[in-house]
Chain A
Amino acid sequence: MSSDNERALRQRLDSALDTITPAPAPVSTVLRQGRALRTRRQVTVAAGLAVAAAVAVAAPGLVHHLGRQAPISPTRKPVVTVNPIGAGAPRGLIGSGTINGRKWRLIADRPGTNGAAKHGQCFETSGAASGGLACGDLLTSNVAGGVGFDGLGNAYYGVPSANVTRVTVTLYGGTVLVLHPVQAYGQRYFAFAVPPSLAIARIVAYSQQAELSYSIPFHSGIGSVVSLWLRPGQRGLPRAARTIGSGTVDGTTWSEAVHAGPWGYCLTGELNDCFGTQTASLGNRITGYTGKGAKAAFWTTGTATAAVDHIRVALSGGLSIRVRAVQCDGPKFFAFAVPKGHRVVRIDYYSASRHLILSQTARQVYS
């Protein structure tokens, strides 16, 4: 089809559709129905916390991002409850309960709706003033995530495998939540919520007969991340932490650290990611980047194999940065900041003897 034909089609569409005269905008009806829908959902949206969980299914390479959220005051011990979901519950309601007497609910949207991708699903919290929503590719990856809401708490949801009949969540302080999967949209879910400041000590998935798997989440102070599931009796990585990069860029002081432990490897700093794996090497690759705008400074994190000693980052304008690869338990990690006005041209991985191991162009790295 030639561009002439495309232009002709555009013209015909314009003349056909632009001549449609709709009725006046039903503003009051939209507002009324919107209020009713919001009340029905009791949705609250807040600063988001995205966390991840997988029950009975370890998800290697799973990466999740932590949002920033002010923790509630830990001056008194939070009281957290989870209610059983009854048969007459609204469709999509997968969890409800209270945090310090304030009610929360977590509602699963119909898969593929409300802004979710084709195979994705959105989850919405409710209970306070304005709430949160998180969407993910839940249906295909069998992983789970979480949603923050209103500073009150972080709601966590999971999709258990078929043989899971019960999930227990032990919080620091000794509270144990017992959850039973509920059905919605032909899938089973479990959900719970805890205050951001309250760490989750352990999550265990059980079948009718026995424990199937357990997870020890990573707690960053603003919420817990569930990224790795272990078999009963399996020991996770020993706990360790290393700074993998720090400095000042455009007047901003930054620092990135990696924390190894039974959760796998989690980064904190500019990029808050977790790698739900215990492997000794995560390869030579960029794992994430973030910035505060197209023309602002941005940060990049990556992993390197044992043979890599340092990374040289070639920037536009003839600049280059030399970054040391820092070992934490098995894998090596690195982080660097790019000043505003510059872009990455190439990243080269070198051994201690300055032998070039791998060279990647910016297109390969950031595409």
Chain B
Amino acid sequence: MDAAAEAEFSDFVRSRWPRLVRLGYGLSGDLGIAEDLAQSALVKAYASWPRVHRAGDPDAYVRRIVVNTSRSRFRKRRVIEQLSGTLPEPGQPDLTGQRDQRSALMAALLSLPRGQRAVVVLRYWMDMTETEVAVILGCSVGNVKSQASRALAKLRVSPDLIEGPMDGQKVEGKSHEQR
């Protein structure tokens, strides 16, 4: 890669980084993992940059890597978790309540199977079409529709979201306990 292409790629990294991390966070629920996902996707994009650039849609390429890496990460997750005898540092108090809302949503998202979670994040946060989601996930459009439908049905009655249901209405007969 020559200097001009490298400068262009550096700009690409800076401009895409926040959104890729947020995509990774939506998929993993962990900011550290999200940054790892985004970084490894961009590293792979660098290694194949001439081809990725020529293909004309580098964003689609890195998004696909983030999603696929996130999916494969779950297969390995069991062996990389370690128990610690010491408590982590206490977090900062959240005066705005924003973090609580985010936690509730993430808890609900993480309760979904990872395929459904990916569909929700890509479809409803990234505003991708069903076809675009199908291409990234390597499945049919019909599968995306059914996954989205099931995911939304689960989120609608998720205990984590009951305090603030998506449509502003309480769902009858469900526990309000946080898991």
Contacts and interface: CB of A to CB of B under 8 A. Distances in A.
B93 to A, nearest CB: 16
A134 to B, nearest CB: 10
Contacts of B149: 1
Interface stretch (A109-117, A178-186, A207-215): A109-117
A31 interface: yes
A12 B166 contact: yes
Nearest to A11: B166
A119 to B, nearest CB: 8
Contacts of B10: 27, 31
A13 B50 contact: no
The 7 residue pairs across chains A and B that have the minimum distance between CB atoms: A34-B46, A118-B138, A25-B17, A8-B166, A22-B21, A13-B125, A1-B152
A37 B46 contact: yes
A9 B137 CA distance: 21
A13 B46 contact: no
A5 B105 contact: no
Interface string B148-162: 010011011000000
Interface string A1-34: 1101110111011111111101101110111011
B118 interface: no
A12 B105 contact: yes
A14 B101 CA distance: 11
Interface in A106-140: 112-115, 117-120, 124, 130-133
A16 B106 CA distance: 8
Interface of A: 1-2, 4-6, 8-10, 12-20, 22-23, 25-27, 29-31, 33-35, 37-38, 41, 43, 45, 112-115, 117-120, 124, 130-133
A25 B22 contact: no
B26 A17 contact: yes
B88 interface: no
B167 interface: yes
A117 B138 contact: yes
A46 B98 CA distance: 49
A38 B43 CA distance: 9
Nearest to A24: B17
B73 interface: no
A113 B102 contact: no
Contacts of A112: 68, 138
B9 A31 contact: yes
Contact of B34 (A14, A22, A41): A22
A114 B65 contact: yes
